[in-house]
Amino acid sequence: MRVFGGRRWRRASAAGLVTMAVAALLPAATGPAAAAGGAGVPARYTEQRLSWHACDGKPSLECATMTVPRDWHHPADGPDLGVSVSRHRAADPAARRGVLMMAAGGPGAQGLLRPADFAEDSPAVAAAYDIVSFNQRGLPLSTPLTCQTRTEFDAFFGDDARDRSPAAVRGVVRRSRQLARACQERSGGLAPYITTDQTVRDMDLFRTLLGARRIAYYGPSYATMIGAYYATEFPHRVDRLVLDSPVGFAGTWQAFEEGQPLSFQRRFEQDFLPWLAARDTSYHYGRTAAEAKEKWEARRRVLRAHPADLGNGRRVTPNVLDNGAVNAMYNARRFAPLATALAALDHWDTATPAERGTARKVFGDYLSPAFLAEFAAVTCNDTPWSRDMDDWVRRTADYTRTYPLAGARALAFTATCAAWPASHAPRVHVTGKGLPPTLMLASRRDPAAHYEGALGAHRALRGSRLVTVGGGDHGQYRNGNPCVDSLVDRYLLTGAAPARDTTCPAPGTTG
Averaged over 324-349, what is the pLDDT?
A: 97
Q: Identify the band that residue 31 occupies on the pLDDT scale cut at 50, 70 and 90.
A: very low
Give exposure, 120-159, as e/b (b: 16+ Cβ within 10 Å): eebeebbbbbbbbbbbbbbbebbbbbbbbeeeebeebbbe
Calpha distance 146→148 (Å, rounded): 6
Distance separating alpha carbons of residues 415 and 379, to the nearest angstrom: 12
**Distance from C-alpha of 226 to C-alpha of 219, rounded to nearest angstrom:** 8
Domain spanning 51-138+214-253+429-504, CATH class: alpha beta
d(CA 356, CA 348): 8
Residue type, 262: L
Rounded to two decimals, the pTM is: 0.91
Q: What is the mean pLDDT of residues 403-409?
A: 97
295-321 average pLDDT score: 94
Domain extents for the chain?
A: 51-138+214-253+429-504, 260-362
More confident residue, 253 or 22: 253
Once rounded to an integer, what is the mean pLDDT over residues 309-322? 93
Residue 90 to residue 85: CA distance in whole angstroms = 16
Output the average pLDDT for the chain: 91
Q: Using one digit for the tens of pLDDT, what is the confidence trace for 420-440? A: 999 999 999 999 999 999 999
* Cα 4 from Cα 395, distance rounded (Å): 16
Q: Rg (Cα) of the chain, in Å, rounded?
A: 23
pLDDT tens digits, one per residue of 91-133: 988 889 999 999 999 999 999 999 999 999 999 999 999 999 9
Q: How far apart are CA 371 and CA 146, in angstroms?
A: 10
Q: 36 falls in which pLDDT band (50, 70, 90)?
A: low
Bridge partners (DSSP) of residue 138 are 144
Average pLDDT over residues 410-422: 97
In three-state secondary structure terms, 441 is strand
Residue 373 to residues 102, 186, 295, 343, 378, Cα–Cα distance (Å): 21, 11, 35, 34, 9
